[in-house]
Amino acid sequence: MKFGPVPVAEALGAILAHGVTAGALPLRKGKVLDAADIAALQAAGLHQVTVAQLGPGDQDENTAAAQLATALAGDHVSASAAATGRVNLFADVAGIVSLDAAAIGRFNAVNPMITLATLPPYTRIAAGNMIATIKIISYAVPGADVARAAATQAVLGVLAPRYRRATLIETNLGTPPTAKGRAALAKRLARFDVTLDDRCIVAHEINALSAALDAALGEVIFILTASATSDIADVGPAALRAAGGSVSQFGMPVDPGNLLFLGDLRGRPVIGLPGCARSPALNGADWVLERVICGRIPTPAEIAAMGVGGLLKEIPDRPQPRRQIG
């Protein structure tokens, strides 16, 4: 692509780079100049204009952006029409963003004029949310570079909810639990159109909790104990194992949210919620819950990686605020 000032007589078919006024006729940047435009510019006494001229093998910005959107839009993703070199990608359903960060890095390294900006991986989104934007910065780019960018497999998708029914088991340690924890979980699940079974409260004791786990009907099971789970041998994890399940993770490097555990009971995910899940504020349980509901069970390595960015906002009612620690 050639860019710069040219005589008006040589600008036919070029892309106007800067808006000008030809007499009473405003010509906006990005316009492909036709014969009438050239005549108007000459009649206005203008001798040159700044334009972009496509060379052999170049693609104009909108053609390039649209081609890349076709290559990048994966499951449950729709693209806008291309305009001024931009195409926005939107989620068709609620879920979490699925992407390959390394592939996006390769995409953006092809040509600095070819860009892709996205939400972070696993971001929770609602249907209709924008998840990415493709922008061709210059008026045209080499078609070969567009093909190379499309070949990076930087595909963007949405992982949709896999489950629709969940069970929450709460434990009672002398004082019945308030409805706060259940209400907070119900709100989180409603974002994915997941409903909770009838309320289940049992004694804070391994056998009682194990029996409740065995009887649970939900596709995903949550445990919210009256006392925080402080060890992998504590009531929650021990009850899961007693019911024939397994524990794959205890503890996570996200604060608030450290005291979460994750496991499985006969093919159904089980999440032991930390006490902070009683609050609607963002905590580590959100990151695990959202992936689990969308069928992406986080591995221990993935949970370990959550520590980067895992220092979340202080919640107002947290006892012993951390700023007081010496």
Please tell me if the domain spanning 2-53 has the same topology as the one spanning 58-159: no
Phi, psi of 300 (to 5 degrees): -55, -35
Q: Count CA within 13 A, CB hemisphere, residue 178.
A: 7
At 99 the pLDDT is 98
pLDDT tens string for the chain (326 positions)?
999 999 999 999 999 999 999 988 999 999 999 999 999 999 999 999 999 999 999 999 999 999 999 999 999 999 999 999 999 999 999 999 999 999 999 999 999 999 999 999 999 999 999 999 999 999 999 999 999 999 999 999 999 999 999 999 999 998 899 999 999 999 999 999 999 999 999 999 999 999 999 999 999 999 999 999 999 999 999 999 999 999 999 999 999 999 999 999 999 999 999 999 999 999 999 999 999 999 999 999 999 999 999 999 765 555 555 555 44
The answer, as to whether pTM is greater than 0.85, is: yes
Three-state DSSP class for residue 275: helix
Q: What is the CATH number of domain 165-305?
A: 3.40.980.10
Burial (CB < 10 A; 0-12, 13-18, 19+), residue 316, is exposed
Tell me which of 3.30.1300.10, 2.40.37.10, 1.10.4080.10, 3.90.105.10 is the CATH number of domain 2-53.
3.90.105.10
| Sequence-ordered list of residues with C-beta below 8 angstroms from that of 78, at least 6 positions apart, any chain | 89, 90, 92
Would you list the domain boundaries of the chain? 2-53, 58-159, 165-305
At 70 the pLDDT is 98
At 324 the pLDDT is 52
269 close to 223: Cβ distance less than 8 angstroms = no
At 102 the pLDDT is 97
Secondary-structure class of domain 58-159 per CATH: alpha beta
Q: Which residues are paired to 2 by β-bridges?
A: 53
What angle (nearest 5°) sits at the alpha carbon of residue 314, between those of residues 247 and 273?
20
306 close to 262: Cβ distance less than 8 angstroms = no
Phi, psi of 189 (to 5 degrees): -70, -30
